[in-house]
Structure 1
């Protein structure tokens, strides 16, 4: 078997971590976490549990939404000194509706190497199993919290030809479905929740039908919400 190359000094590694099922972590991700000098994590407690599960002991540094600017400068200095740094989020790929983009852009601007270590991603997992078209899609992430801004953004997406993909929390999923029922009443919507976990579920119905289900069952878990294309009228 060909031995993988060692980690390169002064490199920022973007390591994808499981979104629910710990078996989804890649061999390369585990090797990167074992060989790096530092793990920058969105939540050091959660990442600490992940590392402990795989018997990995590494220094942890918090890197989250409200300290990105300060931490990015610190990480750049450490990279310039030749440290090998792994950046992880709570789940999935860094920078996808999670912290990461700021330090990646700064590292590139400084001429430093950035290397992705791909793996689990809720967006791709939900899209590929949704049954909706995958050849063209638009990822929105989380909509703004304010109703006016949310509605304006949804209205702006009416003319988009592909599948729309959003993230939503269990606390706002009912509100989102109400908005989808107003803006996209005739489109198929897929709710994907608890992805890769024991109670993973896909619900495929119209916005109004899904709204009735959510109001009746009070579904829990983080959601990936997919909106199908408008049907052509002949």
Structure 2
């Protein structure tokens, strides 16, 4: 994701998607915006569709549902899939972190998340 150790922050703007993409280092040309995923009905179908895409996927998610969504990403995309999380962008408690989905799931146990998040998923099959 980051080559140097410099802190990268987005400029406030109209779109959380654009801000998250600008600091993630995961998107070069194109991405798919999935928005909020279904809570129950249609969730499996949605994940099957998402795994067929050949580009990073941007998802809006709540902190409460994040553990379930990360579990689904692990199940459908695999253990090595890359995940980037942006929280409270351009605000006082702005936070960014990521890694492979197993690292993020493990780190989540010690890291209490609140609020709305932007999640970017990149399958290992992608060369971005």
Q: Are positions 1:201 and 2:95 aligned together? A: yes
Find 2:75's aligned residue among 170, 182, 187: 182
Change (3 A) 1:232 1:142: closer
CA separation in 1, counterparts of 2:68 and 2:126?
27
Give the structure-2-normalised TM-score.
Answer: 0.82
2:109 alignment partner, SS class: helix
**1:128·1:134 contact (CA, 8 Å) conserved in 2?**
no
Q: Give CA deviations for 1:152-190 in whole Å, capped at 9, x if unaligned.
A: 201111121111000001110111011111111221110
**1:189·1:205 contact (CA, 8 Å) conserved in 2?**
yes
Q: Which has the higher contact order (CA 8 A, sep 6+)?
A: 2
Gaps of 5+ in 2: 1-10
Gaps of 5+ in 1: 1-22, 25-118
For the aligned residue pairs, the C-alpha RMSD in angstroms reads 2.0
As a proportion of its length, which structure holds more helix?
1
Deviation for aligned residue 1:232: 5.8
CA separation in 2, counterparts of 1:131 and 1:229?
14
**1:174·1:215 contact (CA, 8 Å) conserved in 2?**
no
Q: How does 1:223-234 map to 2 (within 5 A)?
A: 223-231=117-125
Find 2:51's aligned residue among 158, 175, 179: 158
Deviation for aligned residue 1:231: 2.9
2:39 alignment partner, SS class: coil
**1:127·1:134 contact (CA, 8 Å) conserved in 2?**
no
CA separation in 1, counterparts of 2:101 and 2:45?
18
Q: How does 1:78-227 map to 2 (within 5 A)?
A: 119-146=13-40, 149-185=42-78, 186-227=80-121
